[in-house]
Chain A
Amino acid sequence: MVLKTKKPFLETKDLTVGFGGQVALDGVSLAADAGGIVCLLGRSGSGKTTFLRTLNRLNDEMGAYTKGSVNLFMDGRWCDILAPRTDLLNLRRKVGMVFQTPNLMPVSIAKNILVPLRLTSGLGKKQCRARMHKVLEQTQLWQEVGHRLDEPGLSLSGGQQQRLCLARCLALEPQILLLDEPTASLDFKAGRRIEELLIHMARSYPMLVVSHSPAQAERLAQAAFVFESGKVVHKLDKASIHRHLLEECITGSAK
């Protein structure tokens, strides 16, 4: 699948998320288009990760309360994911997520992909292995690990582990990808490799990426949202990202 046109895939209205007495997101309303990477920028604690975890309802696992509405475009229609009848397992299979630090299971490289795939898809052994081959190719890992699939996943380098996490996520054939600072724990070279991969994959998947690095946002994003104290304070398109970052560097606060 290649996304040719810019269609909206995400729409939130008055989204408020809190943990106990603490409000993490305060009335966030935004809309994002597919066809390129959308970056979420902001300082630590500004609500970027919480926003990302709202989109696959992962905040529910941490006892968060959520108000407002979140609509995602999946299966050719808009889905209100905060509706009480939402099938969370199905939602999370369709909205794939990669975390800041690689979080592999303590099993072999192959099983990191095959176990979740078998458990969630009901595919046969042969089909699962074919899917694994495909996603390892897609994440440019096949050349590197194809001959040692039975080795522990944790024996890979940081960059390879992160790409394996991405492959594991892609194996479930998600419709939307969420990436929470995917290069934060990697060195420059491994980080750039992941970035190239993301740019390539953005042709096929609507993608939201949390980033701390202005330079990275400039390289990756077609659009960006700037978070501050749980609110979206700026919406930037490709052209204005650079200007915004420049202003922020010079004045300390962008207009």
Chain B
Amino acid sequence: MTTTVVCGLLGFIAWQGGAVLGPALFFGDAPAWAAISGQVPVWDGIWPACAGTLVLVLLAAALALPFGLGCGLYLAVLAKGRKKAFCSLCINQLASTPSIVMGLFGFAMILFLRRTFLPGANTCLLLAGVCLAVLILPYIVRATQNAVEAIPLTQRLIGPSLGLTLWQNIVHCILPQASRGILGGVILAVGRAAEDTAVILLTGVVANAGLPRGVLGPFEALPFTIYYLAAEYRNQSELEIGFGACLVLLALTASLFVSARWIQRKIENTWS
């Protein structure tokens, strides 16, 4: 059933957007290499949105991963009793927060900074990355906690029984055994970060910002481009570009999954 639905969905998007796949979809009239290197602006292609999404997702993942891993390990290994219950409650609350609320939080934060410490502060890539990181944090925390707690007791006791310190046990015994489960959570989180529109809508995405020039500037993103084209298309070809952008977003997410899997294999090989 699930396979049928997924295949149907992918087939529909491919059927609608497949025709426009080509250099023109990405770069419009601009020469490809000049557009990629940022020498000429791209006005009617989705390349800046692709680059913006990629940078945004990587930034959000880089911000969320250390905290998510740390929090998940704390909940699975160290926290007990009321502390654990309280932390779990906080994580659950965070997981259930709608993304538009997270966007509003980011927007309110910028307003606060403008009125107090940083009058020049504005919505930007960094703010969107931070808000997205908070949004995906619970996925990584829960995945890490579940993966570690799923390790059988005798496996978790390898380190302590050999006289390893807590940190040595985590690095050499627990993480290698939990890496697959954690990666599953990271993949989910990356997918979530790549598709979210509500957060970036209020925190820095701009329709024609071009390639991201730095973390303190505006940026374009594929989900916003898709939303914008789907809501305000003027002719059939613009709608087809929207479907083409959907295909590219799916491909981008898939390539991030493959990269994550590759990194995990590399890490496993290093461990073994």
Stretch of B53-61, B109-117, B156-164 with 4 or more beta carbons under 8 angstroms from chain A: B156-164
Q: Please give me the 4 A-B residue pairs with the lowest Cβ-Cβ distance, nearest first.
A: A93-B163, A92-B163, A103-B154, A116-B162
Would you call B259 an interface residue if the criterion is a C-beta within 8 Å of the partner chain's C-beta atoms?
no
A-B contact pairs, 19 of them (CB 8 A): A58-B161, A62-B153, A88-B163, A92-B160, A92-B162, A99-B161, A100-B154, A103-B155, A105-B158, A105-B172, A105-B176, A105-B177, A106-B268, A107-B272, A111-B271, A116-B163, A120-B163, A152-B272, A172-B163
Would you call B168 an interface residue if the criterion is a C-beta within 8 Å of the partner chain's C-beta atoms?
yes
* Shortest beta-carbon distance from A214 to chain B in Å: 25
Segment 234-272 of B: residues with Cβ below 8 Å from A? 268, 271-272
- Tell me the B residues contacting A by CB distance below 8 Å: 80, 152-155, 157-158, 160-165, 168, 172-173, 176-177, 268, 271-272
- Whether the Cβ atoms of B173 and A105 lie closer than 8 Å is yes
Inter-chain contacts of A119 with B (CB < 8 A) = 164, 168, 172
| Closest Cβ neighbor of A101 among chain B residues | B154
Segment 92-118 of A: residues with Cβ below 8 Å from B? 92-93, 96-97, 99-101, 103, 105-108, 111, 115-116
> If the complex has contacts A103-B155, A107-B176, are A120 and B164 also in contact, measured as CB distance less than 8 A?
yes
Inter-chain contacts of B164 with A (CB < 8 A) = 89, 116, 119-120
Inter-chain contacts of A99 with B (CB < 8 A) = 154, 157, 161
Inter-chain contacts of A90 with B (CB < 8 A) = 163
Count, chain A residues at interface, CB 8 A: 30
Segment 28-83 of A: residues with Cβ below 8 Å from B? 56, 58, 61-63
> If the complex has contacts A58-B157, A61-B157, A99-B157, are A106 and B176 also in contact, measured as CB distance less than 8 A?
yes
- Whether the Cβ atoms of A115 and B172 lie closer than 8 Å is yes
Inter-chain contacts of B172 with A (CB < 8 A) = 105, 115-116, 119
Would you call A169 an interface residue if the criterion is a C-beta within 8 Å of the partner chain's C-beta atoms?
yes
A129–B33 Cα distance when bound, in Å, is 53
Inter-chain contacts of B80 with A (CB < 8 A) = 63
- Whether the Cβ atoms of B161 and A108 lie closer than 8 Å is no
- Whether the Cβ atoms of B161 and A97 lie closer than 8 Å is yes
* Shortest beta-carbon distance from A170 to chain B in Å: 11
A89–B173 Cα distance when bound, in Å, is 16
| Closest Cβ neighbor of B77 among chain A residues | A61
- Whether the Cβ atoms of A106 and B177 lie closer than 8 Å is yes
* Shortest beta-carbon distance from B239 to chain A in Å: 49
* Shortest beta-carbon distance from A49 to chain B in Å: 11
Partner of A103, one of B157, B163, B165, B176: B157
